Structure 1
């Protein structure tokens, strides 16, 4: 490791984790951040506006996911032009370097987002694979457990990044150097492996295994029933069958939606995490080059892609959107706003999936 006074040893690493972007990359960062802010804000408004969504634990977790991703999107915009030449001195300079210039808040939120996806997956896994235990579990206890899980995602994201990034960043000659001051090369490799495992591989691998089990379980539940069809089946029995089929379709829709969320998280995050792991093992990564920026764009894009997935695939969210925009639909001639508002509520209630 370079000595504390010889800054010439740090020149090659200056800015490695302090993003410096120009031109097209800057535009892309601003676009991702803006879309992420607006998209996740819309998800938040829909869930808060639609009581049927708020009553489901999975949607409470989606609400938390959207808060995390929206804040991350805000930081994508705010940190796009970090001034690494800022004159830093004293305790304040160290704090600015260790907790802002090295983009710890942003990467902490990105990790919290991944962990929250894991929490959603585990909630869905228990609900499908162990339905009796899930239904019989006290609702208040479920809510408390959900709150703890959401808080854990935030705490884990910030705690891990502060331990690995803030502790290895410091001010030298009034400049901030990030991810430089490791105790040894071994510790640098350990940090790289830990980041790869806990921020990426382990959470998403668990998600894949859980969804494989969910798909298998749902396949068994909706397997076609054999046996003679009773011609004199009552209308009530037919209605019950249709209701079960509708509910099964809605359940499959929920899990297909969040399965797509997991796949997108894997695809968009793989490049950046693999590059960072390689860097910690000595790969001469150019943090101002195209390869790195493409990987970062992928990681940042994960903050804004989920609202599009919900809008295209999640039936309950689509009904929430319908209710939200129907509420503000202009009144037709000779039709009161109250009547339209009531009709919208009735339509949304009829269309609400119970999963």
Structure 2
């Protein structure tokens, strides 16, 4: 939900019935649509995201002795997604009640968790991309630096970076009574400052432009390296890489475009009531599409890898022995073992891990 630096727009912007010229606009339809549409879809995102990412975290904690740089990236990516989705039920409740009744403390804490999860998600996606680039394109020069200790240090640095990116949102988030008399948990930027414009541009740069640029450059070089490998499995790796880039672009571009339109609105573009209504309605659709990406992360980055899937089946077999038999788990483990015999297949296994 855009309760962040990202765009705390549910009650701050796209429920604000005033256009850029101070004229009162009728946004009742948007509010009514949001009260039905958003809680339902946020609940679905929460359920799917919580199950998938919790399973990733459980597998990583259970089999932590097998950890490497890739596992550390997966663990932190799933953890950031969990922080993100755990706040969605509270925002859904907020939308339904149309007023914040949970107090100042929860308003600040939930905003902090949300923004940390949001930026953590983006930064650890970038970290995974760079890790694959290093181990595949520069396997003989830089791959030796992929130690667990380096992974932990980089993870701590990225969490600190996520906190820094989140600080403006956390600092300016307050519970205040609006003109209609309702208590709102939203960003209150100082008047005559550029903080709101800065938050929109920060979102566009850190949330789409920078990670997409890094993904295209790194995965482009990775594909060129994989093409020269004589193996039929390279097609699966290349296909998965294309899916990663296309899914990220398709899920996050609409949201960032609407954020950019918000930025233009602050500069008095698209300020009439018709555009205010259209952008507000577009935000509701775009943010649900964007936030659904956290449900796909476990599938794309974790469950697609044979090694990780073998560990998942092993854990599920322990928890649900009736549903997951020994044969499926053992066959997966055998495939994972065969999959890592030569140096080229090791590269391929990392590409699809």
Same fold (TM over 0.5): yes
Q: 2:45 aligns with which of 19, 32, 37?
A: 32
Alignment of 1:70-219 (within 5 A): 70-82=82-94, 85-86=99-100, 93=104, 97-100=107-110, 103-137=111-145, 142-163=147-168, 165-173=169-177, 175-176=183-184, 178-184=186-192, 186-219=194-227
Query: Which whole-Å CA distance do the structure 1 matches of 2:150 and 2:140 have between them?
Result: 17
Q: Between Structure 1 and Structure 2, whose CA radius of gyration is higher?
A: 1
* Aligned 8 A contact 2:307 2:333 in 1: no
Query: Which whole-Å CA distance do the structure 1 matches of 2:278 and 2:123 have between them?
Result: 26
Deviation readout 1:231-265 (Å, 9 max, x if unpaired): xxxxxxxxxxxxxx48xx3x765665455334322
Q: Does 1:260 align with 2:260?
A: no
Q: 1:300 aligns with which of 288, 291, 297?
A: 291
Structure 1 residue 109: Cα displacement: 0.9
* 1:335 alignment partner in structure 2: none
Structure 1 residue 330: Cα displacement: 4.4
* Aligned 8 A contact 2:49 2:82 in 1: yes
Structure 2: tracts of 5 or more residues without a match: 1-8, 17-30, 341-345, 347-353
Distance change in 2, residues 1:322/1:183 (3 Å)? same
CA RMSD of aligned residues (A): 3.6
Deviation readout 1:312-351 (Å, 9 max, x if unpaired): 73332333333334455449xxxxxxxx86x777544422
Relative to the length of structure 1, the TM-score reads 0.71
* 1:236 alignment partner in structure 2: none
Deviation readout 1:56-91 (Å, 9 max, x if unpaired): 321221121111112211111232122563479xxx
SS of the residue aligned with 1:181?
coil
* Aligned 8 A contact 1:261 1:306 in 2: no
* Aligned 8 A contact 1:269 1:298 in 2: yes
* Aligned 8 A contact 1:73 1:304 in 2: no
Query: Which whole-Å CA distance do the structure 2 matches of 1:145 and 1:183 have between them?
Result: 43
- Higher mean Cα deviation, 315-324 or 66-75? 315-324
Distance change in 2, residues 1:135/1:206 (3 Å)? closer
* 1:6 alignment partner in structure 2: none
* Aligned 8 A contact 2:189 2:195 in 1: no
Deviation readout 1:281-337 (Å, 9 max, x if unpaired): 214545994311111101210111123335773332333333334455449xxxxxx
Relative to the length of structure 2, the TM-score reads 0.71
Distance change in 2, residues 1:111/1:346 (3 Å)? same
Query: Which whole-Å CA distance do the structure 1 matches of 2:61 and 2:237 have between them?
Result: 19
Structure 1 residue 112: Cα displacement: 1.0
* Aligned 8 A contact 1:310 1:317 in 2: no
Query: Which whole-Å CA distance do the structure 1 matches of 2:308 and 2:314 have between them?
Result: 10
SS of the residue aligned with 2:93?
coil
Distance change in 2, residues 1:17/1:169 (3 Å)? farther
Query: Which whole-Å CA distance do the structure 1 matches of 2:332 and 2:260 have between them?
Result: 48
- Higher mean Cα deviation, 207-216 or 13-22? 13-22
